[in-house]
Amino acid sequence: MNAHLPLIADIANEQLAQALQHKLDHKTKPLGSLGRLESLALTLGQILGTETPALEQPQMVVFAGDHGLAARGVSAFPSDVTWQMVENFLAGGAAVSVLARQHGLALTVVDCGVARNIAPREAAPGQPRLLLRKVAPGTQDASQGPAMSAAQCAQALNNGAELVRDLPGNALLLGEMGIANTSVASLLLARLCGLSLAECTGAGTGLDAAGIERKRAVLQQALDVNVAATAPLDALAALGGYEVATMVGAVLQAAAERRVILVDGFITSAAVLVASRLQPHVLQRCVFAHRSGERGHQLMLAQMQAEPLLDLGLRLGEGSGAALAWPLLPSACGILREMASFEAAGVSGQTAA
């Protein structure tokens, strides 16, 4: 099976950017006084291609999968937590469930490769739903060889693209769940960016110092045994997870459709990193929600020249940071659409110094 990857066009438009900036500069406020909210409004206007951006039917999608690496003790939690948390998402008890409910975000959970079979179910209106897109019940142990085959990776990419095509709205919020997937993010960062594992590897779900050293040793084995997997898709297949690969496909499709992509933390950023190495203009459509407390995330953000909106020391994942950052996006759009100009409000503008 081959992945059908869309081409992502350059959406840079200097005329639109100037019009948006002019509009922001003439609102009833001192120049630049809304700070980062103004640059966010400018970004959203450019993504959606309009001076009056509006966000419609935002979709929070949590991609879930298990990892063969988990058996090597790279996480403080057992792999059973993956399927248990999927059930928690669907029952409405997880952090992302609470935040999605609070902010009116439609929540979809996708079984991309969970080791346990989870019963399909149709959600009631306003409730989370589960999509079954399982490639296999967890990846292979990447410290012993490729985590997945090229065909499995392609299947996951295609699954991600297909599910986004079926989603309404113009905003995609990324979330994930998979015990050991901080290891996957660390591996992809090290391989694709040429950084050392010492820089890229942190505590994940809460390992102590000795646990982090054990984790790094296992991850070094994974890099060594997959030494030839250097191209983005080869690295994704050799080192990645089904949820990460499915997310890469979703990001590429969302970018092709010119949706706003709100990126959560370390693992979702790893999917965007892979997608941007395949199609660099993906990054034009991305808003990065927060800077994670996970060690490698700052390095990953720097590689993509990304400036996150929040810095709260979060390291939960699930999409929780994206949900927390979400209200800033409709606020930024509202400023562009609804805030009066000096001329329209009959307010005197700023005089020259």
Which residue is listed with tokens 């994206």?
322
The overall longest dimension of the chain from CA atoms, in Å, is 70
Q: Using alpha carbons only, give the angle 17, 265, 150 rounded to the nearest 5 degrees.
A: 95
Listed in sequence order, the residues at least 6 apart from 353 whose beta carbon sits closer than 8 Å to its beta carbon are none
Q: Work out the end-to-end distance of the chain between its first and last CA atoms, rounded to an integer number of angstroms.
A: 65
Half-sphere exposure (CA, 13 Å, Cβ side) for 232? 18
Half-sphere exposure (CA, 13 Å, Cβ side) for 253? 22
Residue in 243, 318, 338, 343 annotated catalytic:
318
| Catalytic site includes residue 257 | no
Which residues are paired to 261 by β-bridges?
172, 286
Listed in sequence order, the residues at least 6 apart from 92 whose beta carbon sits closer than 8 Å to its beta carbon are 98, 101, 127, 128
Give the integer Cα–Cα distance in Å for 249 and 264: 16
Where in the sequence numbering do the catalytic residues fall? 318
